[in-house]
């Protein structure tokens, strides 16, 4: 398995988010690209990125273009389901944020519009669709998150299989997987570990059944999961590393993480234009705007996103210093099987007595 240098929590952030916001604003304005008669008056964005990122970029985009931004914050699987249900009458223009596998699925269902952005040459082949139905915006490693007030780092689970130890019974709280691209990826990657050699998901299903035994509840949304782990109603979960770092550094949650020793899936998060988008010109403007080098720096410095563009310089040390072992995954096989595996989990593994907590 290859290693990627990804992140460290110990480094001091090197660029002021305030200065970056100013640079992004002034740099874009100096280009002379203001709202013109050819752009529509609003844009609708579906995204799992959360209100902090969405509100920030809504404000910046509106300041530059004078275009009203409407956004809906929901899980990436929920976005896919919604775009699918609206296929004959699209409501969204941009889908910003989801694993590349979700975009591949949407492409296969004819839900996306191809668009090759101006920064195409800055993306390596693995960070965009071959026909430009989506491009990657960031890389997202998955980790084991724990309450650092209640657990010492040396006592936290070190690898995926450690989560099955009976000592974690009723101490694990999980984001409901069917609504979450992150959780679907983690669960599917566990199944894939054995499936890639045996072509049989049985051992993966057995693993998830044991995890279900230790799971106290499934949370309906990430915020509920964060709050319950912070309060000590559970002490351990699995989640994506950028969110864990952000919650710890910015919002002062008592969280820390462990990078699984045996390897972890590293997702490519992306962006796409919805097919027959009501505001296609504004959609392209937004697509470009949130993927400039200035925007990538803001997302890295303030929101802990690891950029996919290879021309973004002066990134913080926390992106450069820590090596992470990446799980060896055939994403085409992964994407083709994930829905089947998750359906089986929902119908045959999940304990019906564990309600999804609202």
Nearest CA-CA partner of 19 in 250, 309, 298, 290: 298
Q: Are strands 3-5 and 215-219 parallel, antiparallel or unpaired?
A: unpaired
Give the pLDDT band of residue 287 (cuts 50, 70, 90). very high
User: Mean per-residue pLDDT for 66-91?
Assistant: 96
Cα–Cα distance, 241 to 51 (Å, whole number): 18
Checking if the pLDDT of 31 tops 60, the result is no
Checking if the pLDDT of 19 tops 70, the result is no
Q: Which has more pLDDT, 33 or 66? A: 66
Q: What is the pLDDT of residues 196-226, one digit of tens each?
A: 999 999 999 999 999 999 999 999 999 999 9
Q: What is the pLDDT of residues 238-278, one digit of tens each?
A: 999 989 988 998 899 999 999 999 999 998 999 999 999 99
Least confident of 7-16, 91-100, 318-327: 7-16
Give the pLDDT band of residue 283 (cuts 50, 70, 90). very high
Give the pLDDT band of residue 103 (cuts 50, 70, 90). very high
**Residue 23 in contact with residue 294, Cβ under 8 Å?**
yes
Checking if the pLDDT of 22 tops 80, the result is no
Cα–Cα distance, 132 to 116 (Å, whole number): 5
Checking if the pLDDT of 28 tops 70, the result is no
Q: What percent of the chain has pLDDT over 70?
A: 87
Q: What is the pLDDT of residues 126-136, one digit of tens each?
A: 899 999 999 99
Domains of the chain: 14-139+268-312 (3.40.190.10), 140-265+324-357 (3.40.190.10)
Mean pLDDT across the chain, nearest whole number?
A: 88
Give the pLDDT band of residue 9 (cuts 50, 70, 90). very low
Cβ atoms within 10 Å of 33's Cβ, excluding its own: 14
Q: What share of the chain is helix, strand, coil (3-state, %, to 5)?
A: 45, 20, 35
b vs e for 258-297, b when ≥16 Cβ sit within 10 Å of the residue's Cβ? bbbeebbbbbbbbbbbbbebbbbebbbbbbbbbbbbbbbb
Query: What pLDDT score does 324 carry?
Result: 80
Checking if the pLDDT of 352 tops 50, the result is yes
Checking if the pLDDT of 69 tops 70, the result is yes
Q: What is the pLDDT of residues 312-346, one digit of tens each?
A: 988 888 787 767 889 999 988 998 999 999 999 99
Q: What is the pLDDT of residues 160-173, one digit of tens each?
A: 999 999 999 999 99
Give the pLDDT band of residue 16 (cuts 50, 70, 90). very low
């Amino acid at each position: 398995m290859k290693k990627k240098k990804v992140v460290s929590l110990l480094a001091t952030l090197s660029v002021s988010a305030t200065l970056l916001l100013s640079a992004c604003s002034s740099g874009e304005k100096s280009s002379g690209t203001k709202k013109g008669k050819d752009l529509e008056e609003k844009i609708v964005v579906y995204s799992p990125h959360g209100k902090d990122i969405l509100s920030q970029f809504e404000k910046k985009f509106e300041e530059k273009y004078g275009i009203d931004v409407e956004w809906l914050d929901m899980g990436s699987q929920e976005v896919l389901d919604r775009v699918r249900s609206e296929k004959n009458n699209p409501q969204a223009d941009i889908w910003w944020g989801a694993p590349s596998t979700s975009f591949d699925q949407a492409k296969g269902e004819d839900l996306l519009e191809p668009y090759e952005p101006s920064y195409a040459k800055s993306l390596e082949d693995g960070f965009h669709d071959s026909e430009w139905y989506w491009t990657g915006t960031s890389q997202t490693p998955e980790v084991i998150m724990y309450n650092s007030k209640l657990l010492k780092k040396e006592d936290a689970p070190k690898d995926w299989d450690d989560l099955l130890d009976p000592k974690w019974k009723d101490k694990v709280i999980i984001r409901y997987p069917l609504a979450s691209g992150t959780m679907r990826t983690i669960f599917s990657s566990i199944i894939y570990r054995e499936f890639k050699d045996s072509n049989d998901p049985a051992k993966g299903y057995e693993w998830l059944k044991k995890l279900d035994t230790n799971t106290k509840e499934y949370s309906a949304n990430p915020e509920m999961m964060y709050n319950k782990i912070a309060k000590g109603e559970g002490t351990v979960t699995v989640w994506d590393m950028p969110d864990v770092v952000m919650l710890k550094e910015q919002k002062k949650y008592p969280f820390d993480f462990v990078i699984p020793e045996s390897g972890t899936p590293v997702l490519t998060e992306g962006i796409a234009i919805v097919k027959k988008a009501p505001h296609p010109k504004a959609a392209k403007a937004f697509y470009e705007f949130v993927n400039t080098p200035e925007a990538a720096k803001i997302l890295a410095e303030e929101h802990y996103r690891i950029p996919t563009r290879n021309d973004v310089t002066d990134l913080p040390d926390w992106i450069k210093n820590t090596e992470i072992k990446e799980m060896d995954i055939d994403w085409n096989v992964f994407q083709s099987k994930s829905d089947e595996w998750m359906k089986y989990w929902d119908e045959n593994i999940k304990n019906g007595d564990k309600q999804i907590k609202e």
